[in-house]
């Protein structure tokens, strides 16, 4: 750590006023636009529902989602 000695006026000359920095930061934050989330696609909605989730029952992938089977079911279910 560096120790800096001097009067308050000398500090202001070296580093500038902290109030100016705070104000500029507040302006920057105020200008930032809120992020709008995109709508989920039909596939994302389908996967999100637990009733549609097909899981492996045995083997090394036991308990993981069977995406191949889910995709087949999703595609066939939408044909009408």
Instruction: Per residue of the chain (80 residues), give pLDDT as tens.
Output: 777 777 777 777 776 666 777 777 777 766 667 888 899 999 999 999 999 999 999 999 999 999 999 999 999 987 76
Q: What's the pLDDT score for residue 53?
A: 94
- Position 27 in a domain: no
Q: State how many domains the chain has.
A: 1
Q: Up-side HSE of residue 14: CA atoms within 13 Å toward CB?
A: 8
Residue 48 structural domain: 42-78
What is the rounded CA–CA span in Å between residue 15 and residue 35? 34
- Position 66 in a domain: yes
Q: What's the pLDDT score for residue 7?
A: 76
Q: What's the pLDDT score for residue 29?
A: 66
DSSP codes, 24-71: HHHHHHHHPPPPPPPPPPHHHHHHHSGGG--B--SSTTTTSB-HHHHH
| pTM for the structure as a whole | 0.53
Structure tokens belonging to residue 1: 């750590």
């Amino acid at each position: 750590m560096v120790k800096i000695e001097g009067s308050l006026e000398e500090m202001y000359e070296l580093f500038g006023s902290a109030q100016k920095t705070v104000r500029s930061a507040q302006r920057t934050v105020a200008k930032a636009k809120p992020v709008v989330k995109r709508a989920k696609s039909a596939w994302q909605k389908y996967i999100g529902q637990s009733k549609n989730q097909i899981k492996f029952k045995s083997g090394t992938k036991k308990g993981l989602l069977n995406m191949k089977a889910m995709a087949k079911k999703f595609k066939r279910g939408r044909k009408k």
